[in-house]
Amino acid sequence: MGELRLMKGNEAVAEAAIRAGCDGYFGYPITPQSEVMEYLMAEKPFERTGMVVLQAESEVASINMLYGAAGTGKKVMTSSSSPGISLMQEGISYMAGSELPAVIVNVVRGGPGLGTIQPSQADYFQAVKGGGHGDYKLIVLAPASVQEMCDHVKLGFDLAFKYRNPVMILSDGAVGQMMEKVELFDQIARRTDAEVISQCPWAATGKPKDREHIIITSLDLDPAGQERVNLKLQAKYKKIQENEILFEEIQCEDAEYLYVAFGLSARICQKATDLARAKGIRVGLFRPITLFPFPAPQIASVGNRVKGILVVEMNAGQMIEDVKLSVGCNVKIEHYGRFGGIIPSPEEVVRALEQKIIGG
Amino acid sequence: MEELFAKPEIRKPENIVYKKTDLMVDRPLSYCPGCGHGTVHRMLMEVLEEMDIQGNTIGVSPVGCSVLAYDFLNIDMLGAAHGRAPALATAIKRLWPYRFVFTYQGDGDLAAIGTAETIHACNRGENITIIFINNGIYGMTGGQMAPTTLPGMRTSTSPYGRDVQTMGHPLKITELIAHLPGVEYVTRQSVHTPVNARRTKKAIRKAFEIQKEKKGVGFIEVVSNCNSGWKMTPVQANKWMEENMFPFYPLGDIKVDGKLVEKKETVS
Amino acid sequence: MTEEIIIAGFGGQGVLSMGKILAYSGVMQNKEVSWMPSYGPEMRGGTANVTVIISDERISSPSLNTFDSAIILNQQSMDKFEKTVKPGGLLIYDPNGITRHPVRKDINIYSIEAADEASKLGLSKVFNMIVLGGFLKLKPLVASEFLHKGLLKSLPARHHALIPENEKAVEIGKNLLKPVQVL
Ligand SMILES: Cc1ncc(C[n+]2csc(CCOP(=O)(O)OP(=O)(O)O)c2C)c(N)n1
Ligand code: SF4
Ligand SMILES: [Mg+2]
């Protein structure tokens, strides 16, 4: 068993980055995720593993630092919250276009604009549908616990390097700020420069005499060439869709009704499921863990068995579009959302099921 | 003091010797007790009152503790995204050239995320006033290192003190922009004593006069305290500021009438 | 077993750290725990609260509207949280500064004069641990050996010398409870 600690989600992200053998972290303070960099600075990973930690002058700078470092094959991470992630979009698009691996953590807060610092899930579209320009996809992980905040950093780096694609961990202010028991994985050694060079032959690590020079770019002025780039990306996304789906089903076997929710909302729905079952309502919970790739076939197989589905999100109805695309039209699908930093209570989620699905 | 409150009968118009300007909205400030932001707000509004330009001024507030400045300053204002206030002010002034336009920004806002906007607005010589509150820290987000944090100073992202080898040196952005030809007037002041607050007010007045004459940027840095971020009482913070901030950020005029001041006057 | 607790009071009363020590002690006893604070400007207003859940099973929602136990340390929190205690649940409060006392008859109410006792004994720094002691007397969720381990883990090493004082405060708290009858 690994080391047990009580940690905030943000701290778990930071500790997991060190243990995952991350080479560099670049960030800019923003609530509710500032603890990531604060933890790293206090922990001195530069002494523990040689990991670099740098406070950048802005999120524009952080993401471009990430772009540069990732282009040299290094394992790098940034974290921010909604307004900062919005600023990063151009850089994220460049990284997706140049097929660079990196982990980007978004501890979402309520928007739009400066919004609020309280938790929200209103950045689903931005994360899953491509917040920047061009046809690209991020692999998007949705942790619902502090344990997953930790584990998804490791998983995120694995997927990022497996597919040479940026990975976004889409969390929220509550999961970032709350403390839970975490079992930490053991330290993974940072790769040596020689290992980086041999494991990442695509990376700009310095040209030896006997190989072609490497160019990290997303530019191809020839439309035919750029179309080939796009086709290659789409083929990669298809492969990710086929192989990397993660989800969880809770009390779905005998369910007549279904909650679909990710992240914090799923935790609330899990409680709501218990409360509803105590009232005799047979409801289950489907929790997508990967938001891209979206578990469409898996939702369909549960969803098409039930009488109705309530999608619960801390937004005005974003993931519900993907649920609707997954499940046949003859199942009733409704949305229940709270916005602007309000966390719905388990009781109100039960009421919403009764009113919108069972009664309605 | 307590006695004063105990005698409401002395609160008569004829006894008033000092009063908050009506250009300040009558509501409690959201700043921590002892914070310099509130004093600078008042100096600024007193200038607008004396120049009688309340209706002729558009302000831009930043993201930082003073994000809510628009709740306290009784003039039309816009809240910018973090660091972008000079860009907003540029466009506002270009489209409303006969209005007075100012930005009010913290050090993180002006000298980190917004460095590009700051330098280019100054370099273009926009006819705006920039009021820059340098408290050496990110107050709003809970005390992280700012571009202006002093060497060795502890913050939540420099918990062992700012190590200039890895975290960079404090940025004297005020001296930097003073070298730009578009900048007419640059000064560094404080508001921790009545004398200093009056000097700050004079400087703000001068900057607004320059705007009237379309001479370019007037830039006022106010070295200020952040008791909460520095984890000190207001009195300790002011003392610490005098002993540590002022030697690094000396007070006085840096550029006057478009010319760099040779010998800096260092007063505290 | 699952115990859902709200701890609420002023920022300086050690509300969050009391919750953290309780939660960390739970971790040391190999329980599932969650600790969910109010954060941000809400706290600048002076009030702070934290939801702590200790359970033998995987914890579902970390954010709750109703609680098995409420530990209440100021008036605003009394106004906000008395009504959130489940029928049959527990409410412990320090009457210091409370002007509107609890009125519910369907819950168990205890007062604990921790602030008075702390200042009498010069233990103001560990006021929160006196309150925690009272709570643990009524709800022995963690054994004292695990509380000790929890203290070791949640206090920074430079404060470890203060652990005996913290433990003493817990013991004092256990003997300060007074049942409150709502008539
Ligand atoms: C794009 C973006 N990144 C980060 C933040 C978070 N943030 C809010 S205020 C602030 C720094 C404020 O510091 P400063 O400008 O020095 O003002 P002070 O609070 O010290 O007056 C930061 C980083 C944000 N709101 N938007
Ligand atoms: S945190 Fe600092 S800058 Fe902000 S209001 Fe308080 S003292 Fe002023
Ligand atoms: Mg500042």
Q: For residue range B129-144, what is the model confidence (pLDDT) as tens digits?
A: 999 999 999 999 999 9
Cβ-Cβ contacts under 8 Å for C91 (sequence gap 6 or more): C69, C70, C72, C82, C85, C102, C104, C107, C108, C109, C110
A8, A10, A37, A41: which to substitute to probe chain B, counting the most B Cβ within 10 Å?
Answer: A41
User: Judging by beta carbons within 10 Å of its beta carbon (0-12, 13-18, 19+), is residue B51 exposed, middle or buried?
Assistant: middle
pLDDT for residue B12: 83
Please, which pLDDT band fits residue A1 given cuts at 50, 70 and 90? Answer: confident
| Phi, psi (degrees; rounded to nearest 5) at A257 | -130, 165
pLDDT at residue C101 tops 80: yes
Q: What is the pTM of this model?
A: 0.92
Listed in order, the ranges of chain A carrying CATH 3.40.50.920 are 248-358
* Domains and their CATH numbers in chain B: 31-259 (3.40.50.970)
What pLDDT, on the 0 to 100 scale, is given for residue A269?
A: 98
Q: Say if A21 is an interface residue toward chain B (CB within 8 Å).
A: no
Q: CA triplet C60, A343, C41: central angle to 5 degrees?
A: 120
Omega cis (within 30) before A32: yes
Q: What is the pLDDT of residue A268?
A: 98
Q: Hey, is the C-beta of C92 within 8 angstroms of any chain A C-beta?
A: no
Q: Is the pLDDT of residue A333 over 60?
A: yes
Q: Find the A135 Cα to ligand 3 centroid distance in Å.
A: 39
**Atom in ligand 1 nearest the alpha carbon of residue B140:** 19
> What CA–CA distance (Å, rounded) separates B218 from B206?
8
* Closest to A33 in 3D by CA, of A83, A102, A70, A86: A83
Asked whether B135 and B198 are in contact (CB, 8 A), the reply is: no
**Which residues make beta-bridge pairs with C7?**
C50, C71
| Confidence band for C183, pLDDT divided at 50, 70 and 90 | confident
Those residues whose C-beta lies under 8 Å from the C-beta of residue A255, and which sit 6 or more positions away, are A282, A283, A284, A302, A305, A306
pLDDT at C40 over 80: no
Kindly state the average pLDDT of the residues B59-74. Answer: 95
Pairing of strands C2-10, B252-256: unpaired
Residues in chain A with CB shorter than 8 Å from the CB of C27 are 4-6, 181
Spatial strand order of the sheet with A332-337 comes to: A247-250, A283-288, A257-260, A308-313, A332-337
CB of B217 shorter than 6 A to ligand 1: no
- In whole angstroms, how far apart are CA B101 and each of A314, B129, B161, B258? 39, 6, 38, 20
d(CA A119, CA A344): 11
Quote the mean pLDDT of chain B. 93
- State the best of B66, B78, B82 to mutate against chain A, taking most chain A CBs within 10 Å: B82
Q: How many CB atoms lie within 10 A of CB A99?
A: 20
**Residue A146, pLDDT score:** 98
The radius of gyration of chain C's CA atoms, rounded to the nearest angstrom, is: 15
Ligand 3 centroid distance, CA of B223 (Å) = 10
Ligand 1 centroid–CA B112 distance in Å is 9
pLDDT at C85: 98
pLDDT at B262: 82
- Domain CATH number, residue C95: 3.40.920.10
Of B115, B157, B159, the CB nearest to A57: B115
- Which ranges in chain A are annotated with CATH 3.40.50.970? 3-193
B167 and A55: CB-CB below 8 Å? yes
Q: Chains contacting A with at least 3 CB pairs below 8 Å?
A: B, C
Residues whose CB falls within 8 Å of the CB of residue A57, separated by 6 or more in sequence, listed in order: A28, B112, B113, B115, B147
pLDDT band per the 50, 70, 90 thresholds, residue C43: very low
Taking 80 as the threshold, does the pLDDT of residue B152 lie above it? yes
Is pLDDT of B177 > 90? yes
For residue A225, the SS3 value is: helix
Give the tens place of pLDDT for each residue, B1-11.
445 455 677 77
Q: Find tokens 């490497």 and name the residue.
A: A214
Q: Which chains touch B (3 or more CB pairs under 8 A)?
A: A
> How far, in Å, is the centroid of ligand 2 from the Cα of A4?
37
Residue B266: what pLDDT?
55
Number of domains comprising chain C = 1
What pLDDT is attached to residue C38? 87
Note whether C63 contacts A268, CB cutoff 8 Å. yes
CA of B218 relative to ligand 3 center, distance in Å? 20
- Please judge whether B144 and A46 are an interchain contact, meaning their C-beta atoms are less than 8 angstroms apart: no
Residues 6+ apart with CB under 8 A from B124: B90, B182
CB atoms closer than 10 angstroms to residue B229: 25
Q: What is the pLDDT of residues C136-182, one digit of tens each?
A: 999 999 999 999 999 999 999 999 999 999 999 999 999 999 999 98
Between strands A52-55 and A76-80, the pairing is unpaired
Cβ–ligand 1 distance for B82 under 6 Å, the answer yes
CA of A68 to the centre of ligand 3 (A): 29
Residue A238 to residues A103, A158, A235, B141, Cα–Cα distance (Å) = 20, 18, 5, 41
pLDDT of residue B9: 77
Residue A355: per-residue pLDDT: 97
In chain B, where do the E strands start and end?
A: 57-61, 76-79, 100-106, 129-134, 137-138, 144-145, 183-190, 217-223, 252-256, 259-260
Contacts of B160 (CB under 8 A, 6+ apart): A44, B154
d(CA A308, CA C105): 40
Q: pLDDT at position B1, please? A: 43
User: At residue A218, does pLDDT exceed 60?
Assistant: yes
Question: DSSP readout, A159-218?
Answer: HHHHHT-EEEEEEEHHHHH-EEEEEEPPPPPPPPHHHHHHH-TTS-S---TTS-------
Cα angle vertex A236, ends A233, A241, to 5°?
125
Residue B173 CB–ligand 1 contact under 6 Å: no
Å from CA of B31 to ligand 2 middle: 6
pLDDT in tens, C63-81: 999 999 999 999 999 999 9
Region C38-58: mean pLDDT is 80
Beta-bridge partners for B76: B58
Closest residue by Cα to atom 5, ligand 2, is B31
Residue A329: strand, helix, or coil? coil
Q: A3-193: what CATH class? A: alpha beta
Percentage above 90 pLDDT, chain B = 89
**CA distances (Å), B263 to each of B119, B187, B248, B254, B255, in order?**
24, 13, 15, 9, 11
Please tell me the distance from the alpha carbon of residue A101 to that of residue B171, in angstroms, as a whole number: 33
CA distance A245 to C11: 43
3-state DSSP: chain C helix, strand, coil percent, rounded to 5?
A: 45, 25, 30
Tokens 């990967």, residue? A290
Q: What pLDDT score does B5 carry? A: 55
Flag whether pLDDT at A3 surpasses 50: yes
- Nearest chain C Cα distance for residue A267, angstroms: 5
Question: Could you say which residues from 109 to 138 on chain C have a Cβ atom under 8 Å away from some Cβ of chain A?
Answer: none
Residue C182, pLDDT score? 87
Tokens 């607790």 belong to residue: C5
- Cα atoms found within 13 Å of the Cα of residue B255, Cβ hemisphere only: 24
Q: Which residues of A touch C64 (CB under 8 A)?
A: 271, 345-346
B139, B132, B140, B150: which is closest to B222 by C-alpha? Answer: B132
Q: Which two tokens stand for residue C9?
A: 């009071």
Q: Is a pLDDT exceeding 80 seen at residue C39?
A: no
Beta-carbon contacts of B45 under 8 Å, excluding residues fewer than 6 positions away, are B21, B23, B24, B73, B74, B75
Residue ranges of alpha helices (H) inside chain A are: 9-19, 35-43, 45-48, 59-71, 82-87, 89-97, 124-128, 146-163, 173-177, 193-199, 223-243, 263-278, 296-303, 319-326, 346-352
Answer whether B218's CB lies under 8 Å from B208's CB. yes
Please check whether residue B177 is in contact with residue B118, taking contact to mean a CB–CB distance below 8 angstroms.
Answer: yes
> What CATH topology corresponds to A248-358?
Rossmann fold (3.40.50)
Query: Is the pLDDT confidence value at A139 over 60?
Result: yes
Structural domain harbouring C47: 2-181
Nearest partner of A336 among A324, A322, A323, A353, judged by Cα: A353
| Nearest by CB: C39 against A177, A267, A346 | A177
Contact status of C64 with chain A (Cβ, < 8 Å) = yes
Give percent of chain A with pLDDT exceeding 90: 97
The tokens for A298 are 């898996």
Tell me the average pLDDT across A171-187.
98
pLDDT digits (tens, 9 = 90+) for B240-265: 999 999 999 999 999 999 999 986 55
Cβ–ligand 1 distance for A87 under 6 Å, the answer yes
Indicate the residue of B82, B112, B157 with minimum beta-carbon distance to A38: B157
Question: Which chain A residues contact residue B83 at CB under 8 A?
Answer: 58
Which chains neighbour C (Cβ–Cβ under 8 Å, 3 or more pairs)? A
Confidence of residue C11 (pLDDT cuts 50, 70, 90): confident
Backbone angle region of A327, left / alpha / beta, with phi > 0 → left and psi within -120 to 50 → alpha: beta
Going by pLDDT thresholds of 50, 70 and 90, the confidence category of residue B267 is low
- Which of B31, B140, B227, B241 has the most ligand 1 atoms within 8 A of CB, as the residue to mutate? B140
Nearest ligand by distance to the CA of B228:
2
| Nearest CB neighbour to C32, from listed A174, A177, A181 | A181
Q: What is the CA radius of gyration of chain B?
A: 18
**Peptide bond before A112: cis, by omega within 30 degrees of 0?**
yes
Predicted pLDDT of residue A251: 97
Q: Which atom of ligand 2 is nearest to the CA of B224?
A: 3
Q: Which residues on A lie below 8 Å from C63 (Cβ)?
A: 174, 264, 267-268, 343, 345
A252-256's contacts with Cβ under 8 Å and 24+ in sequence apart are: A252/A284, A252/A285, A252/A286, A252/A302, A253/A284, A254/A282, A254/A284, A255/A282, A255/A283, A255/A284, A255/A302, A255/A305, A255/A306, A256/A281, A256/A282, A256/A283, A256/A306, A256/A307
For residue A20, the tally of other CB atoms under 10 A from its CB is 24
The residue whose C-alpha atom lies closest to atom 2 belonging to ligand 2 is B226
